[in-house]
Each structure stands twice: as C-alpha cells, then as structure tokens.
Amino acid sequence: MRILVVGAGAVGGYFGGKLLEAGRDVTFLVRPARAAALSETGLNIKSPLGDVALGAPPMVQAQDLSKDLKEPFDLVLLSCKAYDLASAIDSFADAVGPKTAILPLLNGMRHLSVLQARFGAGAVLGGQCVISSTLDEVGTVLHLNTKNHVTFGELDGSASERVAAITAAFEGCGFAARASSKILLEMWEKWVVLASLAGSTCLMRASIGEINAAHGGKEFALGLVEECRRIAAAAGYEPRLQALEATRGLMTEAGSPLTASMFRDIENGSRIEADHIIGDLLARAGAAGLESPLLRVICTHLKAYENRRGFSEVK
C-alpha cells in the first residue's frame, strides 16, 4: 500500500513516522520550510512509548507532485489543520485516483462534505485520532501522553476491502488502529468532547480544574456538554451513555490541569479552528432549531480573538 501523508506536523509526523518506522511505503507531502527542516534534522519523535529517529523521510512538495507522480497513491492520510483544508486539497489532488482512499484525521465534521464535493463520496472515509502531540522549536514531534489511537471506517458502516487493507497496513506500527462500523457516531462523540473542552477552557482561559473550582464552574461545564449533546442527537448521533458519562467526568474533574490545544494556540497567538469546531456546531444547532446560548458566547469570543489577531475566516 502506497501511503501519502499530507503534513508532517504533530499528527502527520507522528503517525506517518510510526508507519515509516515499521517499513510501510510512506511519502510525506510537505511545505518548503518543513521539507528543509526534515532534510537537515530528519524526522524525530520523542514519546513515552519510545523515541524514533528516522533521518530525512521520503517527501515531496506540492509543486513537484504532479510531475514526479507515476501513479495515484492507495491511501491519502490527511492530517492538516481544518483552516488549511482548501490549500491541502489543492496540494494532494493529483495523488488521488479512482481507487484512492482519503482518510482525514481532522476535527469536527465539515471536512467530510468538502472532500466529497471535490473527490466524490466514494473516495472519503471517516476517521479520527486521539493523541496529544506538538512540535518543539526544532521540529521534533513531542508525544505528550501515552494515547495514540486511530479509528476509521466507511461512512455507511460497511466492511470494505479497502478498510481491511488499511487495517492490515496499520497493524504492528506502534499505535492503536481500529476499523469501526460506527465511525460517524464516534466522530460525533469526539466532537462533543472537543467542543466542550475547547469551548470551556478557551472562554474561561483556564484549566478544567480551575473552572470547576470557580463559583458556577461545574454547572457551566455540564451545561455546555448538554448543548453539544443535543446538537449531536438532533443530527441523528446521540452519544452513547458510556461516552457521555466519560465526557461529563472529564469536564468536572476536580483539580484537572487539562486544557484544549485550541487554548494553547490562543495563548501562543496562533490560528485556531474556531469555525470548524465551534462555528459549524452552532450552525447545525440553528438548522435544528436549537438554542445554544453557551456555544454562541464561545463562538463570539473566538471570532473576536481571530479578528484581533487578523486571521481571516476560512470558508
């Protein structure tokens, strides 16, 4: 299986690096600055589960992909930020053929319809990952905990040959990979968690423990989870009880130092996925006739941050 990993950042660099370490046929599609850094330092991963030092990995830049491409890739592993989706699509479009599977590991749900509009409904799989990772100042991938899960599947829940082939390719690569017949439900469950965590910690500029220690903090956290749950249910993806209870527990854990990566991005003055994690969820609430006052305030807060930093909205 020939795999094109779009991006070699905190997510793509980790999972693509682990695939490459295990001997899989992996090529990274990267921007010029990242290509230069990888050529100089190699692809390095620091992890509690074991470090990886790979040297300069096989890589290509967008402007060279079409002229160097001999045949389409079997799998495109898409790991960009949601606000970079349009440019990422343009960069890897030449790598997609009639039998190419596109596996996005983006947050939210909006990207599915965008990818389907460009490449056709049959090309796109559902997917998600659970990992806490970042890049340090020299471009090393830092794996911050011991979670490294990838879940994927056909959007209609069927058991296909290509999902079986991806499962086989991911086996034995040092991360947990699982095919799911309920990938859309699992993506919605993750979205509920992520929107609750990002929305609360970004609005309050505080950790989960600090929010819960404040007067009314626990009620706020549970109210936000409930707004997100109602939107998922209205879309036909009511979170399962175990997932919902885990989300409530995470959001009300006393003393928890947990914050969302979006919160850390705000503290660093970086771009954020406001439209894709909160804005799209709020739009779906409106379409379903649901009032979501907490999400509305959070969305206004995040958009005000973007306006102040001069980040333009990505459609």
Query: Angle of helix 241-251 relative to helix 183-204, nearest 10 degrees?
Result: 10
Task: State the pLDDT at residue 314.
Answer: 44
Q: Is the pLDDT of residue 312 over 80?
A: no
Q: How confident is the model over 75-102, as pLDDT tens digits?
A: 999 999 999 999 999 999 999 999 999 9
Task: State the pLDDT at residue 91.
Answer: 93
Tell me, yes or no, whether 314 lies in a domain. no
Tell me, yes or no, whether 202 lies in a domain. yes
Tell me, yes or no, whether 26 lies in a domain. yes
Does the CA dihedral 179-229-15-121 come out positive or negative? Answer: positive
Pairing relationship of beta strands 25-29 and 59-60 according to DSSP bridges: parallel
Q: Do 64 and 82 sit in the same domain of this protein?
A: yes
Q: Identify the band that residue 315 occupies on the pLDDT scale cut at 50, 70 and 90.
A: very low
Q: What is the pTM of this model?
A: 0.93
Place of tokens 């890739």: 73
- Written as one letter, the residue type at 172 is G
Q: How confident is the model over 198-231, as pLDDT tens digits?
A: 999 999 999 999 999 999 999 999 999 999 999 9
Q: Do 45 and 146 sit in the same domain of this protein?
A: yes
Mean pLDDT score, 65-71: 79
Mean pLDDT score, 283-296: 98
Q: Do 117 and 258 sit in the same domain of this protein?
A: no
User: Of 161, 181, 201, which residue sits at a domain end?
Assistant: 181
Q: Is the pLDDT of residue 63 over 90?
A: no
Q: Phi and psi (nearest 5°) for 213? A: -80, -15
Mean pLDDT score, 283-307: 97
Domain count, the chain: 2
Q: How confident is the model over 151-167, as pLDDT tens digits?
A: 999 999 999 999 999 99
Q: Is the pLDDT of residue 20 over 50?
A: yes
Q: Phi and psi (nearest 5°) for 25? A: -85, 90
Tell me, yes or no, whether 92 lies in a domain. yes
Q: Do 170 and 31 sit in the same domain of this protein?
A: yes
Q: Distance from CA of residue 213 to its chain's centroid?
A: 29
Q: What are the CA-CA distances from residue 200 to residues 166, 195, 223, 297 (Å)?
A: 36, 8, 10, 11
User: Of 181, 212, 235, which residue sits at a domain end?
Assistant: 181
Q: Do 163 and 205 sit in the same domain of this protein?
A: no
- Write down the mean pLDDT value for the chain: 95
Q: Do 69 and 158 sit in the same domain of this protein?
A: yes
Task: State the pLDDT at residue 313.
Answer: 53
Q: Identify the band that residue 62 occupies on the pLDDT scale cut at 50, 70 and 90.
A: confident
User: Of 128, 149, 181, which residue sits at a domain end?
Assistant: 181
Q: What is the CATH number of the domain that holds 86?
A: 3.40.50.720
Q: What is the CATH number of the domain that holds 266?
A: 1.10.1040.10
B/e letters for 45-58, b = 16+ CB within 10 Å, e = fewer, are bebeeeebebeebe
Enclosing domain of residue 127: 2-181
State the Cα–Cα distance between residues 209 and 238, nearest whole angstrom: 27
Report the catalytic residues. Answer: 190
Q: Identify the band that residue 173 occupies on the pLDDT scale cut at 50, 70 and 90.
A: very high
Tell me, yes or no, whether 315 lies in a domain. no
